[in-house]
Structure 1
Amino acid sequence: MGLFSRRKQRDAEQADAASTTDEHDDATADSDGLLDQEVEETQDATDEDGADEDVTESDDEPDVEEEAPRGEHLEDGPFDEADAPEEDRIDLGGLQVPTIDGLELRMEIDQRSSAVTGANLVLGGSSLQVQAFAAPKTRGLWEDVRRSLRDSVVSQGGTAETRPGVFGTELITRLPVKRADGRTGYRPARFIGIDGRRWFLRAILTGKALSDPEQSKSFETLISRLVVVRGTGAMAPQELIPLHLPGERPGLDQIRSGPLDPLARGPEITEIG
């Protein structure tokens, strides 16, 4: 019995010494000598065709919110309706989009229900999909959504990694897709999540802006000028804040989206303008 106790103590000391990293607290033993450790694993893999290395993150990743310098190109938003400054905007119901030269607005429509489920803002060949969801009063959704999204992408054979961004921690993904020649390609995307006043805004950036710093800044500025109209009615967390087409009056029925699917996109796109 004494040997078993000494062995557990020695194992605990060795594990404690090996776990001193900047991202994890030191492992501590409880009254029974059992060790409680949090371990982060990063796996790098390169396929035989020389594809980019895959970076996967475990469920034990410490989701510490990181934010890069905000930058002079940004406004103070995205804004809650109550705090939004005066500006010409396109009214989409739950979202208001600033009018920008060259901006093409494409609304996503659920073909079965005819409900508007999202907006795509296209500029210079790149696209920003934006959606707003109801959130609890006491906590944000982005951390949970980011973890769910990362797990979903990795389970489909893609890669996902976090990085600090001007709006906080972002997620950069590469989702495998079948190309016309039968080979597997990857569709990169940049996911930005912003927790607001009882709302959560999700933005997905794709296209040239992912590698073009100036285009990237243009979309960041656009996000910082968006307005979320949450409304005062009761809504369940993760419920899609209703949208409507430009010029239409919003209906009284709220759009129930069920559990938020970070990879979901509308099945049909209607171009406006």
Structure 2
Amino acid sequence: MGEASDAARSVVAQFRRDGFVAPESAERAEFEVWDRVTPGRVLLVALQILLRLREEDGRTDLGRPVPGLDEEEAGLLVRTLLGDAAAAPETSRRDLITLDRLLGLLASVIAEESLSEEAVDALLEAAEESCLAVGPWDERDDRRPQSGELVDLGGLLVPTEPGLKIELMPSRQDGSLVGVTLIRGRTAIQLQAFRALGDTSWASVREDLARTMRGRGGSAEERVGPAGTELQAVVRIQGPPGKDRQTARVLGHDGPGWILRGFVTGVGAEPDSTEEWSYATFQGTVVRPPSAPSATDPLIRLRWPESGI
């Protein structure tokens, strides 16, 4: 087993034995640390794998009680982990996605499925492999896939395909390129990369964004999507009454020393959308941090591609 999945196994074993999360297990899990593959991340993905397998068999109801959750809360958490956009806001409001509740749900499903220790080990190994195989990527990471065509924009290398429209976004202050918008059909995703200065993370950026959106008369709710925790939002835009709001999804990822943000609009941002293109584009993006970064400027600048757009 890998280091993260091995540690995750110890956390699961302790919880199944004692029925609670010991302090050393909580520390070992490093839950909510997303800039690398941690035991907590492996546990979350392992639970999602199990739930999706059960869903494919037509089984979404739980046959056992879950420690720390009543039946309605457990069902809400299951639907959220399966990507139900309607369940996610209430799950976030109740703060149901915690390490102890996820472990309780995982232990209940393992018991219901009568999984052997060997099967649990294989599940955790598969979850770790799944974590390692998903971007966005740092250019220096030799694990990143080498397949697929990318457009080199300097600070970002973004996936492209025939018919894709690419628009670079200049800064209002100095005209330097600070972002790129990719448009496919009726969906667009704007990508920007930032250096993670101080204790900045996607979690802190997400919290600030949600506060700003609500302060400007919009709405923002956290949900769990294919790229991790995201915001499902309605933002205020310039326009006549009735056309002054826009639905958006805001994706984010913590890399080694950087944060990538994706702002999805159009059809792919609607709450009931199952479109995968924006997520595939976000997770296929490669970040190239500057070799001589500014001490104060967090933006990772872009440039026009040598071959044009």
State the TM-score bracket (shorter-chain normalisation).
0.5 to 0.7
Name 2:174's counterpart in structure 1.
Answer: 113
Matched, 1:160 2:220: yes
Matched, 1:240 2:293: no
Name 1:130's counterpart in structure 2.
Answer: 191
Distance (whole Å) between structure 2 residues aligned to residue 133 and residue 218 of structure 1:
23
Name 1:93's counterpart in structure 2.
Answer: 154
The SS at the match of 2:248 is strand
Report the CA distance shift for 1:238/1:169 in structure 2 as closer, same or farther (over 3 A).
farther
Instruction: Decide whether the 8 Å contact of 1:134 with 1:235 is kept in 2.
Output: no
Instruction: Decide whether the 8 Å contact of 1:135 with 1:236 is kept in 2.
Output: no
Structure with more helix by fraction: 2
State the one-letter code of the partner of 1:147: E
The equivalent position to 2:137 in structure 1, one of 79, 84, 95, is 79
State the one-letter code of the partner of 1:81: E
Distance (whole Å) between structure 2 residues aligned to residue 214 and residue 126 of structure 1:
12
The SS at the match of 2:212 is helix
Name 1:203's counterpart in structure 2.
Answer: 262
Name 2:73's counterpart in structure 1.
Answer: none
Name 2:249's counterpart in structure 1.
Answer: 190
State the one-letter code of the partner of 1:128: I
- The percentage of counterpart residues that share the same residue type is 31
Map of 1:10-89 to 2, 5 A cutoff?
A: 76-83=134-141, 84-87=144-147, 88-89=149-150
Name 1:175's counterpart in structure 2.
Answer: 235
Q: State how many pairs are aligned.
A: 189
The SS at the match of 2:263 is strand
State the one-letter code of the partner of 1:93: G
CA deviation vs aligned residue, 1:82-121 (integer Å, no higher than 9, x gap)? 1233243211111001221221110011244221110001
Query: Can you give the 5+ residue segments of structure 2 that lack an aligned partner in the other structure?
Result: 1-88, 103-126
Distance (whole Å) between structure 2 residues aligned to residue 169 and residue 108 of structure 1:
25
Per-residue deviation, 1:80:
0.6
Q: How well do the aligned residues superpose, as a CA RMSD in angstroms?
A: 3.6
Matched, 1:223 2:277: no
The SS at the match of 1:172 is strand
Distance (whole Å) between structure 1 residues aligned to residue 96 and residue 208 of structure 2:
14
Greater relative contact order structure (CA < 8 Å, 6+ sep): 1
The SS at the match of 2:162 is coil
Per-residue deviation, 1:225:
1.1
Per-residue deviation, 1:160:
1.0
The SS at the match of 1:206 is strand
Structure with more strand by fraction: 1
Name 1:266's counterpart in structure 2.
Answer: none
Name 1:143's counterpart in structure 2.
Answer: 203
Report the CA distance shift for 1:242/1:178 in structure 2 as closer, same or farther (over 3 A).
closer
Distance (whole Å) between structure 2 residues aligned to residue 183 and residue 89 of structure 1:
38
Report the CA distance shift for 1:178/1:222 in structure 2 as closer, same or farther (over 3 A).
closer
Report the CA distance shift for 1:178/1:106 in structure 2 as closer, same or farther (over 3 A).
closer
Distance (whole Å) between structure 2 residues aligned to residue 108 and residue 64 of structure 1:
38
TM-score computed with the length of structure 1 as normaliser: 0.59
Distance (whole Å) between structure 2 residues aligned to residue 111 and residue 233 of structure 1:
23
CA deviation vs aligned residue, 1:229-266 (integer Å, no higher than 9, x gap)? 01343444770012111118xxxxxxxxxxxxxxxxxx
Query: Can you give the 5+ residue segments of structure 1 that lack an aligned partner in the other structure?
Result: 1-54, 249-271
Distance (whole Å) between structure 2 residues aligned to residue 122 and residue 133 of structure 1:
22
Instruction: Decide whether the 8 Å contact of 1:75 with 1:221 is kept in 2.
Output: no
CA deviation vs aligned residue, 1:63-88 (integer Å, no higher than 9, x gap)? 969x9x99x9x962111101233243
Per-residue deviation, 1:141:
1.2
Report the CA distance shift for 1:126/1:184 in structure 2 as closer, same or farther (over 3 A).
closer
Distance (whole Å) between structure 2 residues aligned to residue 159 and residue 171 of structure 1:
10
